[in-house]
Structures are given as C-alpha cells and as structure tokens.
Structure 1
C-alpha cells in the first residue's frame, strides 16, 4: 500500500510519462510514474517519497541512509556524484547512484538520480518535511531521461490548496 507524503505537494509529470501504481515499488513510495519505452526489459521510473526527519538531521545523513537501504537489495552500489544546493531556509541535495539489480532473471546496470528537498510544513512552520524525488533508469537510458526528470523537479512545490 502506498504511503502518503508528510506535506502535500503539486507537480507536473514530463510529457509521455504515465502514473503507475506505487504498490509495485518500495513500500514508502507515495507516487510513481513510468516511462513508456522500457530499455533492455527495465522500465524507467520516477518515484516520490518523504517523511519528517528528526530535528538536526542533515540531508547528507538522509542520503547516506538511502544508499545503505539500497545496498540491502542491490549490488555494487556506488555514489557517483553528490551535491548540496538550495539555501539555508530551503536546502536541497542531489546524488547519483550506480548499481546492479537482478529482476526476472536478468541483470540490469541501473542509475538512480535522487533529489532531496526540505519543505516547511504549512500546518506547523516549525516542522520541516523531507521529500525525495528519484529517477531510476538503465545506465544506457538514464542520461537521455535526465532532462525530463530535471523538468519534473522544477515543477515540485508545496500545495497550499489554493489550486493553480
């Protein structure tokens, strides 16, 4: 069963991407979308999850924990790139991971780009929620889909309920 996000957000999927049932993904996923053209039997996907981290926990610590969780079921997990961004009030972190994963008897070399954002809880401005956005694709397809993912990330914002 999919989880809910700690704060409501709004976003726009890149053209051609299709919403998917989050049940087929990690149990913590609140939203998932898939690319319409699989590569070598693997369907690229975008997922969204999040939570309320403990006070004082840095995004780098959350990203490190994500790497360790991935190591529980994937092989050769490597942090290829990591960069902190954003501001003190709205920090962000991006990281790119490379790993191997076996599914349905086939081995896939995958790349996952993760973006971590801290958002203020509009119900309680003293609480900060963490949202993780992730693109997972084969190593061969990842770079061609990265622009779609970056466009998607730029559309993510807190949903204040006002509608647009």
Structure 2
C-alpha cells in the first residue's frame, strides 16, 4: 500500500523522469517514485523515492540518516561514503530547511545476481510552525547502479533544489 507523507511538499521532476505508482514498481512503503527509463541497466532502472514519517524524539537529522543503514543491511552490505549536513549557515542547503545528505553503496543481489547500488539519501526535517514539538522527516533517495550514476546525479541535485514544504501545518498522525 502506498504511503502518505506527513507534510505536503512540492517539487518538479527533471526532464526524462517519469512518476510511477509505488505499488506497481515494488516500492509499497513510499509515497512517490520517479523512474529514469533511459538509464535501464540489466533490468534495473535508476529511481527516486520519497517517503516520510513523524518524529517526536530528539534525534538529529544525522542520527535519522544513520537509521537507514541497519534497514539496508537486511538486503546486503552497506558502505557509507559521505555524510554532510546541509541548510546550516556554513553549508547552504538545497532547500530552506536543515537536512542531511548521505551517500552510500549497497552490495546486494538483483534477480539472483550480485549488484552494487549507489544511494544518495536526503533527509529533510520540517517543524510545524504552530507546534514545534511536531516534526516531519522527509526521506528522498536516488538509487542507481554505479554506471548509471553519472547520468542521473545532476538530475537528482536539480530535483532536490525544487523540493519545498507547501504549508506550515503537519498533517495529524493517526492516533493524535
């Protein structure tokens, strides 16, 4: 079942990318999937996914990014190549809100064959202006094979520059 985001966002897909129904492309726990059909390699298509959750704990964006590693290790070996905080005065962000960009390589299997997938993960924290205790975290991930990365990484950066929260209130979580 396709997930929903805890806060509305807007964005623009770069040329050559197509939205796809998450359930139909094997990504049922995300809210949005975009595919880059021109980059297909061995049956794998470079993709961008967007998911999100409410976080009412004190975890930093860097700690939240670290949480993806054990999840990914269930499917293979993970190497973190780089992690950078963005949106601080020292490092202007891709959006107006603070976040973390984490680049990693996942050694896994695809259709029974060994494969290395590169991920560039962007975590964006959005606080509710009316209730700062409520925080949504949006996870935007580019996944590509190494030989696809050069073709799609600039598109991903362009895409991230267009991501914006569209309103000041975070949607109520179930049970609130």
Matched, 1:115 2:114: no
Offset at residue 128 of structure 1 (A): 1.7
TM-score when normalising by structure 2: 0.83
CA distance in 2, matches of 1:122, 1:27: 30
- What stretches of structure 2 of length at least 5 have no aligned partner? 90-95, 169-176
Matched, 1:56 2:42: no
Higher strand share: 1
Offset at residue 104 of structure 1 (A): 1.8
Quote the residue 2:162 is aligned against. 155
3-state DSSP of counterpart to 1:100: strand
- What stretches of structure 1 of length at least 5 have no aligned partner? none
Matched, 1:127 2:134: yes
TM-score when normalising by structure 1: 0.89
CA distance in 2, matches of 1:154, 1:108: 29
Aligned pair count?
160
Quote the residue 2:86 is aligned against. 85
CA distance in 2, matches of 1:97, 1:15: 25
Quote the residue 2:5 is aligned against. 5
Offset at residue 95 of structure 1 (A): 0.6
3-state DSSP of counterpart to 2:41: coil
Structural RMSD (CA) = 2.0
